[in-house]
Structure 1
């Protein structure tokens, strides 16, 4: 039984300090930690609620910490049990770090010493625990100690000029005069940056989760309102004479159509938010793994590959709002009950006329349309918002900022609400002389060509003339571009 405990002893390690637990406590989610480790974690954690470091379950109040007596007894037996040195059970396997002090059979190393530059099995590491001089050595989980391939020395210096880890000999050789610091110092500096970046990811995820929660509440309220609208409609028509039954069915079907449109849009937005949350959580986990490593070199070598926090200037996400005003419909229904049979069809049509596309409406191509029947033109995209110039039974003519007199099918277009319009055109109207601007990242090639300007160039608006603006860039004075190609720079 003792040997079984030794074979599986890693399961008794605290996931915070990575050592055998001391004064083990079990929190409500079932995970166990050292009492001091979990207290320190909750003290240093930036979240308002206490949560489990492993499963991330949050607790409304900080749980009471009581010693797990049974687990403490197992750990005590584990500490008092000596390794019997059986090579069949402890021999280092391919890919595992072997003890440097085993002579006959190489046992699996459990710790590596950054001072001795050697790895030790459970038996040979004991002097580092017993002798004061060795207790000051830096011990890490068994690993292949990174050495300088040129000088065969420990990599303990970081060269900021070359962004690489070097040894002391390299410092006096090809890296002489470079900006260098100890790897631990550089790790501390970059760890602060990574922690800050992770915090931004967490804030973004929480904001997105809040947005998703609000959307779900809105969906539930909308569903209740729609059901109530259907009930009111049915009640109104049941009070009319039999000849109005056909009109009642027509009214219910139209409401259902509007509900289906709303549900489709809400489902798309909900799926987008869930995907974004999953992506953010995945990036958090990647950073968590790097933050928990004790290997400074591994940390520094992988730091640059860590994901960067989302940009603060991301465009506002499309909102979901009912296409039909339910309060207005209720008023119309009250008036409708008093109408004569001859006006029945006319009144129903009037209710929905306001939701049909007409001249003057702002529209864009539906996301479901991959290629319009009459083609996109040079610059029109799904994000382009234009104004209806004329409407026939099947076709429309639209004036887009990017393309005047654009022709398309009526079935390919959708009306754009005030909230949707604010995504792009509102930003254009905010640009004025003196503002700092740059070419949008979505613009592959400006209509008037790049000149010496790039996506990274930031200039000042010199003049505005209709859709055109003149911008003074440091690289290119009096550069001319179109307003919809530009974005403000804070």
Structure 2
């Protein structure tokens, strides 16, 4: 009664058979997945309903497999199969319905322990596990029990097949002997396969070790490369600073020279300006006597650049004309400074700077193998 009730609970309400791939709806009812999908496919309305409680769904529900129920059904069906297979009764225990322990192939009869003992005392027949049907153990052509194995055609045969059938004069063995030969061959194949399996497993372990070694080595090389380029960047920065420092020293040296020359030119300019002022004051005198007496007492007559003039008379006259204007004097001074500046620009030794840069780069290139060796690359 309990088994019948359980079987009823495990039946789908649509197909009335045991659940196949049961799915659970949100309303709590279970159906076979194929049954509920087919039922909904045949519905004409836009809403979907549960076949049992008629609960409506605006959208077609997404079916979720009921794994717990699926496992219960699977276990139940497995027990039913075992019961079916084992439900072979003794052919002689008609009242007690005793379970058979063996089936005689020749007699085609099943026996319990008691009747089997009597049967074995009377005859020596081939026995097999309890079965309700021996059709699979009979020859299809002669409906006789399969007793031999034909090695040539690789099949089981009956006595008639061997004596007068298609397997006449073929090499045959009794089924137990043929079975032992096949099992021996299979054992040899099994040993070879086991050995091959062990070799494959060992090779797989070796491959895994190689993969780990390659991964570790690659990580080590990557780390070394990152470290190498970090060292290169540091060395580049150091070399850059060294080159810039040397160029800065050269620039400072040139600027110091220019400042010194500028000071000398300032002194010379002041001296020339003083001379110009005295000459202007002397030239401003209109009385000849006063001019000459002033000339005798003046330092102007001792100026060598005045006595031994490097300028032509036209240039002197031009200077005298411009002496009356301070603007002309300032313009002349500016032209003089520009001329000096043009000469000073070329004093920066750019060839030396180029040599400093080239030397620094050569030293850096020579340093690269050392950095690689330090990193093991």
Q: Normalized per residue, which structure has more strand?
A: 1
Say which structure is richer in helix.
Answer: 2
Which one has the largest radius of gyration? 2
TM-score (norm 2): 0.35
Higher relative contact order (CA 8 A, sep 6+): 2
